Amino acid sequence: MAAVEAPEDRIFAALASPVRREVLRLLREEGPQPVQRLAGHFDMARPSFSEHLKVLREAGLVSERKVGRQRLYRLEAVPLNEVQEWLSPFERFWREKLTGLRDLLDSMDEERHER
Amino acid sequence: MAAVEAPEDRIFAALASPVRREVLRLLREEGPQPVQRLAGHFDMARPSFSEHLKVLREAGLVSERKVGRQRLYRLEAVPLNEVQEWLSPFERFWREKLTGLRDLLDSMDEERHER
DNA sequence: GTGACAGGTAGGAAATTTCCTACCTATAGT
DNA sequence: ACTATAGGTAGGAAATTTCCTACCTGTCAC
């Protein structure tokens, strides 16, 4: 039985694959493009790639528009806002750590100059 | 054969499970705690839960410290910075969506593929 | 029309993930 | 030393994911 999953779950699951993250990056950097051009970056049979697109579609992270016999995929970044929102309460935890690390490195630097 | 995966891959993969995301939230909100207390929130056999902790450990998202016969797990938020960094180039896209600017840029991009 | 091209779905093999029960180790209390 | 507790590992079943080849549909070019 396929559990009813929150939209958030589908987004995080979609991002779990390096292939799918790369597709999103390509759409961001190069704008909307047909499947053909996206697929060129991956060493994979076309139907396999199609499946990845489906996962992204169902997570709402891309949309598709037919143009002639091509399908133009484009980034739908809005759902990524949910990831951002999940992440942000953690932010102060790593900022404190990173700051602490910088302080540590700074103090080690000082020691080198002290002798 | 298990492919050599980037640390980033392990982090995103770890976040793909709602159980593991919830564990991270609990550690963030309630501080370091033993397995027992964390496990209480999930309807799952203990060894299954142990596996989830292992995934989080191997992603570097939690650390463990022995205290008597308990093991205190604590949040290690720093690796989440990588998620933030992956995410941030996308941020302007969902912000622009609100201004309507993005749609204009996309339609200009699309023309390049239309003939 | 016929052929070629873009890209999807169908069905299945293989790998991975998720969960289980059974068992092991280490520590604490008596 | 004995028992109970905390939490891990081992091994395996079931579900899911990832990839494949084969095939179908829709559109363009002739």
The mean pLDDT of B13-27, rounded to a whole number, is: 97
Across all strands, nucleotide nearest B33 (CA–C1'): D6
Whole-angstrom distance, CA of residue B60 vs CA of residue B106: 38
Cβ-Cβ contacts under 8 Å, B113 against chain A: 32-34, 37, 67, 70, 72
Burial A91-108 (b: 16+ CB within 10 A, else e): eebbeeeeeeeeeeeeee
Whole-angstrom distance, CA of residue A77 vs CA of residue A23: 12
Looking at residue A99, its pLDDT comes to 74
Asked if A18's CB is within 8 angstroms of B15's CB, the reply is: no
Q: Which of residues 53-82 of B touch strand D (CB under 7 A)?
A: 53-54, 64, 69-71
**Confidence tier at B113 by pLDDT (50, 70, 90):** very low
The mean pLDDT of A83-111, rounded to a whole number, is: 75
Whole-angstrom distance, CA of residue B60 vs CA of residue B76: 7
A98 φ, ψ (degrees, to nearest 5):
-65, -40
Question: pLDDT by residue (tens digit) across A52-69?
Answer: 999 999 999 999 999 999
Calculate what percentage of chain A has a pLDDT beyond 90. 73
Backbone φ/ψ region at A90: left (φ over 0), alpha (ψ -120 to 50), beta: alpha
- Taking 70 as the threshold, does the pLDDT of residue A113 lie above it? no
- Taking 90 as the threshold, does the pLDDT of residue B105 lie above it? no
Question: pLDDT by residue (tens digit) across A98-112?
Answer: 676 656 665 565 554
- Taking 50 as the threshold, does the pLDDT of residue B115 lie above it? no
Asked if A84's CB is within 8 angstroms of B87's CB, the reply is: yes
Domains observed in chain A: 7-77 (1.10.10.10)
Cβ-Cβ contacts under 8 Å, A31 against chain B: 105-106, 109-110, 112
pTM summary value: 0.83
**Confidence tier at B96 by pLDDT (50, 70, 90):** confident
**Least confident among A43-57, B76-90, B91-105:** B91-105
* Inter-residue contact A10 to A59 (CB < 8 Å): yes
